Structure 1
């Protein structure tokens, strides 16, 4: 499991308390928190793997976390308490049933959100339609970052976890990471299954999401990914599905924290 964090010390006790007990690894990718996030993570789970970002942004956090994964299944989980770790078995079940990529959706039967406004839901709907037209997908919730996938999908993402330095940013290092992942998975021809998910309000801290600004960022990401060829020419070698996959949970900075740092 990969969990990106930036000043999420108050939220981690809630998130960690709900994690399944049989996880292979929990990877916390920290963006230079100043509130003791790393210390809290270690106190809650002594076996936690701590990875420090080498650049800025949620996308870079995910790239660094993915590079450290040793398990068969990768789960992306925000650290603000909005995503419920108790849903992880449903994601894993979709993978074991034959999917390469289990995409969370708030807009399917059994899903929902306590944190999305009508305007954001309307904008997400139009972005879904655009993505589906450009990439031949059937997504119902493009802008939701709670996903799980087999580790054999990682090469298709073509993410760069190397340098050039903590103050630099590359394409994909920012909030566009979720759109980038969703589109590159589609371009690689991987099998996608949507999993109903309920989004809760963040527990502590304040969201800095801006409907119009961030919607335009997603729209730009769709345009860039439509023409850049990333993910299209990567050979993905599927491993035989395991009856009991080894799950790696990677924690990364939540979208609100990412926006607060990069807006």
Structure 2
């Protein structure tokens, strides 16, 4: 349960928050599935059970990256039974972007040629994962899930969230990257390793702490001319319980607007050499 690759990260000049790793199995597949979680309870357990039932934990190496759960949902014996390859636990500062930096750095150091990410709150269709695998196989460098394109579906999407995506978030990031995307708030996406390792991208920087990395990587792919695609997926919000989200309150929404503005201005782009 020590942090692997710390010296390697420093040598590469990557800023990666501290994390520990429980590794249950060796690398088996060219792509991994990164699942960020924090106190997702039964939602993450149901999601992993479905992923395993569909045989997808055999098609992808599943890596859970935990932001500090205290609900007991990530018992090691359960994770191993569900075919999870590794559990990373962030010990350093930061929110979602920091979690993703831990997982992406680990995955790249482990030699994966592509990374797929899906939220661990059970809203997204895990049966869409083969489409992301096919996109990476076809040479796509950034694939973004969308409930709004043919074949996709959005169920019980809150009206405020729907309007924010369609009228603000998606148009802003599409403008920033020069590529049209319809559903940019989703964390369900795939990246090629060549994109993440491009010296003009540099995702392992301390500027990425909360939700900045998701917006930045959406825009940067188009700016650099990488191959992009949207993948139809189904996203379901529960009808009879609280919305599973970590974005809540006026402060969080203001923060997202600031992130969009900075992305539009290129504030997250690394300095030219």
TM over 0.5: yes
Structure 1 residue 196, shift from structure 2 partner: 0.9
Check if 1:90 corresponds to 2:140. Answer: no
CA distance in 2, matches of 1:143, 1:22: 28
TM-score (norm 2): 0.73
Q: TM-score, normalised by structure 1?
A: 0.75
The answer for the alignment partner of 1:245 in structure 2 is none
SS in structure 2 opposite 1:65? helix
Aligned match of 2:151 = 110
Decide whether aligned partners of structure 1 residues 204 and 9 sit closer, same or farther in structure 2, where only a CA change above 3 A counts: farther
1:180 aligns with 2:216: yes
Could you report, residue by residue, the CA deviation over 1:208-237 in whole angstroms, capped at 9, with x for unpaired residues?
544865554333212212332626869xxx
**Distance apart, 1:204 and its partner CA:** 7.9
Gap regions ≥5 residues in structure 2 = 1-32
Q: Is the deviation greater in 217-226 or in 200-209? A: 200-209
- 2:256 aligns with 218
Q: Which moved more, 1:66-75 or 1:15-24?
A: 15-24
Deviates more, 1:214-223 or 1:118-127: 214-223
Gaps of 5+ in 1: 162-169, 235-263
**Matched-pair contact (CA < 8 Å) for 1:104–1:144:** yes
Q: Bigger relative contact order, structure 1 or 2, given CA contacts below 8 A and separation 6+? A: 1
Whether the 8 Å CA contact 2:36–2:65 is kept in 1: the answer is: yes
Do structure 1's residue 50 and structure 2's residue 92 form an aligned pair? no
Structure 1 residue 158: deviation in Å? 2.0
Whether 1:158 aligns to 2:202 is yes
Aligned to 2:163: 122
The match for 1:66 among 96, 104, 110 is 104
- Aligned partners of 1:151 and 1:131: how far apart in 2? 22
Which of 230, 235, 239 is the aligned partner of 1:194? 230
Q: CA deviation at 1:207?
A: 3.2
User: Against the structure 1 CA distance between its residues 37 and 93, is the aligned structure 2 distance closer, same or farther, given a 3 Å change threshold?
Assistant: same
Number of aligned residue pairs: give it.
Answer: 226
| Contact 1:176–1:221 under 8 Å retained in 2 | yes
SS at match of 2:190: strand
Instruction: Give the distance between the partners of 1:35 and 1:205, measured in 2 at CA.
Output: 17
CA displacement at 1:180 relative to structure 2: 2.0
